[in-house]
Amino acid sequence: MRQMAHISGDDAPSGAGPIRLAEIVGSLFLATDLGNSQPLETALRCTLLAMGLGREMGLSTPDLACVYWGGLLRFVGCLSTSLEESSFSGDDLELRALLLAADLHDPSDLGPRLEHGLGRQLSPARRDQAVRSFIERGPRLAPAVLKSHCEVGVKLARRLGMSEPVTTVVDAYHERWDDGGLKGLRAEAIPAAARVLDFAQTVVANAHALDAEELRSLLARRSGKQFDPDILPVFTRKAVAGWLDTESVWASAMLAEPGAPRLLPATELVDLARVLGDYSDLKSPFSLGHARGAARLVVEAGRALRMPPLAIEQVEVAALLHDLGDANLPAGMLHKAGPLDQGERERVRGHAYYTERILSASPALAPLGRMGASNHERLDGSGYPHGLTGPSLGIETRLLAVANWYEGALREKPYRPALSRDLAASQLRDGVRRGLFDARVATAVLDIAGDKPSRKTIAYPAGLTDREIEVLRLVGGGMTNKEIAAQLTISPRTVQQHTLHIYEKIDVSTRAAATLFAAEHSLFSPWA
């Protein structure tokens, strides 16, 4: 198998130069393409089209800034409901792709899309069952799902330093011109940036499947209902090809940033990477907090190995970014209790490729993306995605591989219970003997976390109690009140009361936002 260059901190940036925020947010946006089962750079095209429409409509500079940043963050909350959206056919990506192009308030538009697109991988009988389930449960589930998208999106946007006007656009993601949206905003009460973004999304999501006349007909049917009727005339009288077709979508998106590029000091890279790591971990209850857990392990073990501070910071960022490619995996596959078939195994292995691909466009993140994508490499060449061997793997990559494996071993998986510390340590040492892992690195990781249970006194955030922490972790894991009650030996009503108190304390209103809060505060760590 082809060998790559030596992957170590020597390949990573010096850390001295400023970071362009648009690169970080743009990389996150590429991940949302995978989460919506769209070709990479689809959402960037949507933002470029919306910027072009906004300029033609004479939007102010502040409104154009809201179009740009609101566009780049428009779908950042979508992974947070993967568990709910996969409950119909097992494939949340497939469902989101269908809904992205549909008019959710028009049965004549939504129905055929569901009948022809939902559950394509299933047998005819199971497909029919998935469609019937969506028709029956979808309308009841939709408000909570859409509310979660907005609430999580706003929280992540704020962590990225976005202004209140931008977060207002993110929060208006599901509004409609005709007052049929989530919050009931209508017409000009919807931010101008949100209006042009909604129109642009409709164009980009449908353009690949329709010819020009069919697309104009679809837009005309939705004009004045789903979106602002003043946008369609602007769209039809301008040459749209220039807004959608470009040799480099990424470069065009970077050039489209209104005003001077927003630059941040390199010291903020770790905090920015935590946002991307939390985003990727929201994909599955089994991965909540995994990126932060692996990152904490590499930092503490790196110090024990006397690695230079810059090298430790670089591998910490790589650990936070290493599972961004999981956005490309259907939730049903991640939650499968039985063995994966050959095609599923190959798709899971491909997540590492997509991690590297997502981050490759950003000069600040590309080297660290290569390191993060190599967390499944093994010293004997049996790993993936590139089958690298020991001489090609620097100490940083060796450390990340061990930390990722060990942190994952302590977690419950759909196909096995969590391993005990002793069993995980024994299996890691066996991996060292078989030539999979670096012995010195494995010893450092086990000294930090494997053989020595933590005795740190924990101060829980927001005044949460021990019982509330237990409930919050189980809520984040997707359990129902009845399931939580059975596990904690309390009544479902008591669980509900605890949940309401938790939501009030941490200022959230959805399960997804509560899960994000728990991940931000490392409450899912199995070793610390």
The CATH code of the domain that includes 506 is 1.10.10.10
Tell me whether the omega of the peptide bond preceding residue 13 falls within 30 degrees of 0, making it cis.
Answer: no
CATH of the domain at 436: 1.10.3210.10
**Residues 99 and 70 reside in one and the same domain:** yes
**Residues 473 and 368 reside in one and the same domain:** no
Give CA 42 to chain center in angstroms. Answer: 16
**Residues 336 and 399 reside in one and the same domain:** yes
**Residues 315 and 426 reside in one and the same domain:** yes
**Residues 44 and 189 reside in one and the same domain:** yes
Is residue 528 in a domain?
A: no
**Residues 442 and 328 reside in one and the same domain:** yes
Largest CA distance in the chain: 69
* Last residue in a domain, options 197, 227, 255: 255
Provide the pLDDT for residue 454: 46
The secondary element (H helix, E strand) that includes residue 19 is strand 19-20
Provide the pLDDT for residue 362: 92
**Residues 32 and 86 reside in one and the same domain:** yes
**Residues 210 and 94 reside in one and the same domain:** yes
How many alpha carbons lie under 13 Å from residue 64 in its C-beta half-sphere? 17
61-72 vs 42-56: helix axis angle to the nearest 10? 170
Number of structural domains the chain divides into: 3
Contact (Cβ atoms closer than 8 angstroms) between residue 416 and residue 30:
no
| Residue 233: exposure state from Cβ atoms within 10 A (0-12, 13-18, ≥19) | exposed
The residues, ordered by sequence, that sit 6+ positions from 132 with a Cβ below 8 Å of its Cβ are none
Provide the pLDDT for residue 528: 62
Is residue 406 in a domain?
A: yes
Task: Kindly calculate the radius of gyration of the chain based on its CA atoms and give it in whole angstroms.
Answer: 23
**Residues 58 and 196 reside in one and the same domain:** yes
Is residue 204 in a domain?
A: yes
489: tokens are 């030996």
Is residue 83 in a domain?
A: yes
Is residue 13 in a domain?
A: no
**Residues 291 and 342 reside in one and the same domain:** yes
How many Å apart are CA 175 and CA 173, to the nearest integer?
Answer: 6
pLDDT values of the chain reduced to their tens digit, one per residue, 528 residues: 333 334 444 444 444 589 999 999 999 999 999 999 999 999 999 999 999 999 999 999 999 999 999 999 999 999 999 999 999 999 999 999 999 999 999 999 999 999 999 999 899 999 999 999 999 999 999 999 999 999 999 999 999 999 999 999 999 999 999 987 888 899 999 999 999 999 999 999 998 899 889 999 999 999 999 999 999 999 988 755 455 666 789 999 999 999 999 999 999 999 999 999 999 999 999 999 999 999 999 999 999 999 999 999 999 999 999 999 999 999 999 999 989 999 999 999 999 999 999 999 999 899 999 999 999 999 999 999 999 998 899 999 999 999 999 999 999 999 999 999 999 999 999 999 999 999 999 999 999 985 444 444 457 899 999 999 999 999 998 899 999 999 999 999 999 999 999 999 999 999 999 999 999 998 998 876
| Residue 461: exposure state from Cβ atoms within 10 A (0-12, 13-18, ≥19) | middle
* Last residue in a domain, options 225, 255, 285: 255
* Last residue in a domain, options 201, 233, 255: 255
Contact (Cβ atoms closer than 8 angstroms) between residue 468 and residue 474:
no
How many Å apart are CA 334 and CA 326, to the nearest integer?
Answer: 9
45: tokens are 């095209």
Is residue 12 in a domain?
A: no
**Residues 424 and 359 reside in one and the same domain:** yes
Provide the pLDDT for residue 243: 57
* Partners of residue 416 on adjacent β-strands: 413
Angle, vertex CA 221, rays to CA 217 and CA 223, nearest 5: 110
**Residues 314 and 362 reside in one and the same domain:** yes
Contact (Cβ atoms closer than 8 angstroms) between residue 455 and residue 447:
no
Q: What is the pTM of this model?
A: 0.92
Provide the pLDDT for residue 5: 37
Is residue 526 in a domain?
A: no
| DSSP line for 436-498 | SS-HHHHHHHIIIIISS---PPP--GGG--HHHHHHHHHHHTT--HHHHHHHHTS-HHHHHHH
Provide the pLDDT for residue 3: 36
361: tokens are 């466009």
Provide the pLDDT for residue 14: 42
Provide the pLDDT for residue 272: 96
Is residue 260 in a domain?
A: no
Q: What is the 3-state secondary structure (H, E, C) of 340-398?
A: CCHHHHHHHHHHHHHHHHHHCCCCCCHHHHHHHCCCCCCCECCCCCCCCEHHHECHHHH
Q: What is the domain range of residue 514?
A: 461-520
